[in-house]
Amino acid sequence: MKDTLGLIFAYQNEESMQSLTKVRASSSVPYGGRYRIVDFVLSNMVNSGITKVGVITRNNFQSLMDHLGSGKEWDLSRKNGGLYILPPFSQSTGYRGKMEALKNAESFIRKSTEEYVVLATANAITNQTYDEALAYHKEKQADITIIYKKSQVKKYEDGATIGNIITLDADNRVVDVAINPEVGDAEVCRSTEQIIIRRSLLETLIADCASHYMYSFHKDVLQRHLKDLKIYGFATDKYIAKVDSIATYYDASMDLLSGETRAELFYQPNQVFTKIRDEAPTLYLGDSEVSNSMIADGCIIEGTVENSIIFRGVHIHKGAVVKNSIIMQDADIQANAELAYAILDKDVVIREGRKLYGWERTPYVVAKGQVI
């Protein structure tokens, strides 16, 4: 897929993840012990053989820039192509839709020479490549191909959206696009927000939307052009979790404790790449008791950990008990503290004997750097 350009929308859902997105863009929220959410889509592009990727940012992207650096970890530190962070051109009020965001990236897109573009939002936890979808796109001589997954939708009440539901004809051509509809318990075809399009067509659509004051990809492009563009759906059956709220984030994290999810995401020939941090391997001491948990490097575990995700550099002292929780980087859980259904952002300290219990659908979120 040398002839394909990747574009990642790395700025969405900035308001729905509580304190986690106060200090960073949603795409750089830590996930899975050592990753950032953007790592998955970015690795998918790289594993598809894409060597030029633009990351469209809006605001609050210092942490994202620090994480991505020169792109070296994704082998995107290149003379030809490589990784491009695309900040907003001027300090406007943000993007009202993807087409407006793409307008901001217009000169980057025009300067590219690739024939195809993969558009993807950063907030999908999945390990897949785009080779088959692109082959399908070519075979169907499609103008636009939407990668979708047929599934029942779990309902959340905290800002998570169902997203875009497509309806297909027998030939898999898209005949309807519904934006955040009420769907009940039915199985629906949900867009994974991974889209393949010819670069020249994308350029035309960007210019067209800009000159008509339109900005939404789904409303102003897909819905308007259902008839005159050949829009196809390509089905995927890979694991995919959309992270756009605390509840979806918590669920997508706990999914990692299932062997099947881990197998789909990690025990694959295609790796998920992320920024390297220098950490010693994890040290288990004393009466450590660990069960059904993921633990990153650099931890010291002296207490009990159950059904939890422990990031790099966490110290769980003697007698401390951590259950059903997500503990981000460098937390210090002091002796006999207890945590259940908690999400601790980076650098949190839980003092000796303190107890925090949240609940599954509403985990207790502790902001970065807090001392409790």
Partner 1 sequence: MPTKKRAVAMLLAGGQGSRLGVLTTQVAKPAIPFGGKYRIIDFPLSNCVNSGIDTVGVLTQYMPLDLNGYIGNGQPWDLDRNDGGVAVLPPYQKGKAGEWYKGTANAIYQNIAFIERYDPEYVVVLSGDHIYKMDYNKMIEYTEEKNAACTIAVLNVTLEEASRFGILNTNDDNSIYEFEEKPAHPKSTKASMGIYVFQWKKMKYYLEADEADPNSSNDFGKNIIPAMLNAGERMFAYEFDGYWKDVGTLDSLWDANMELLSADSPVNLNDSSWKIYARSANAMPQYVSVHAKVKNSIVAEGCRVHGNVENSVVFNDVYIGRGAVVKDSVILPNTVIEDNAKVEYSILGQGVTVAQGAVVGAAKEVAMATVEPGKMSGYMAVLGDSITIGENVTVKAGEMLAEDRF
Q: Does 274 bind partner 1 (CB under 8 A)?
A: yes
Query: Residue 295 binds what, of partner 1, a second copy, none (CB under 5 to 8 Å, by partner type)?
Result: partner 1
Q: Which of 62, 180, 204, 292 touches partner 1 by CB under 8 A?
A: 292
Residue 173, number of CB atoms within 10 A of its CB: 15
- Closest CB 49 distance from partner 1, rounded Å: 11
d(CA 334, CA 316): 6
Are 125 and 252 in contact by the 8 Å Cβ rule? The answer is yes
Binding mask 303-342 for partner 1 (x = CB under 8 A): --x---xxx-------------------------------
Q: Which amino acid is at 4?
A: T
- Check binding of 370 to a second copy (CB under 8 A): no
Pick the binder of partner 1 from 66, 75, 176, 237 (CB under 8 A).
Answer: 75
- Which positions from 82 through 101 interact with a second copy, judged by CB under 8 A? 84-94
Judged by CB under 8 A, the chain residues 318 through 357 that form the site for a second copy are none
Binding to a second copy in span 262-281, by CB under 8 A: 278
Consecutive H or E run containing 132: helix 131-139
| DSSP β-ladder status, 187-198 and 144-152 | antiparallel
184 binds, among partner 1, a second copy, none (CB under 5 to 8 A by kind): none
Does residue number 300 form part of the binding site for partner 1 (CB under 8 A)? yes
Beta carbons within 10 angstroms of residue 138's beta carbon: 13
- Is-contact 38 64, C-beta < 8 A? yes
Taking the complex as a whole, how short is the minimal distance between the CB of residue 331 and a second copy, in angstroms? Answer: 18
Nearer to a second copy, 125 or 331 (CB): 331
Task: Pick what 113 binds: a second copy, partner 1, none; C-beta below 5 to 8 Å, kind-dependent.
Answer: none
Contact in structure between 296 and 327 (CB atoms under 8 Å): no
93 binds, among partner 1, a second copy, none (CB under 5 to 8 A by kind): a second copy
Give whichever of 94 and 286 is closer to a second copy, judged by the CB atom. 94
Alpha carbon of 352 to those of 166, 300, 358: distances in Å? 52, 16, 18
HEC secondary structure over 325-371? CEECCCCEECCCCEEECEEECCCCEECCCCEEECECCECEEECCCCE
Asked if 245 touches partner 1 (CB under 8 A), the answer is: no
| Order of strands, sheet of 338-340, starting from the edge strand that comes earlier in the sequence | 289-291, 304-306, 321-323, 338-340, 355-357
Give dist(CA 198, CA 117) in Å, integer. 6
Q: Which of 140, 238, 262, 354 binds partner 1 (CB under 8 A)?
A: 262
Residues making contact with partner 1 (CB under 8 A): 2, 32-34, 72-73, 75, 77-80, 257, 262, 265-266, 269, 271-274, 276, 278, 280-286, 288-298, 300-301, 305, 309-311
Residues making contact with a second copy (CB under 8 A): 58-62, 65-66, 69-70, 72, 77, 79, 84-94, 108, 278
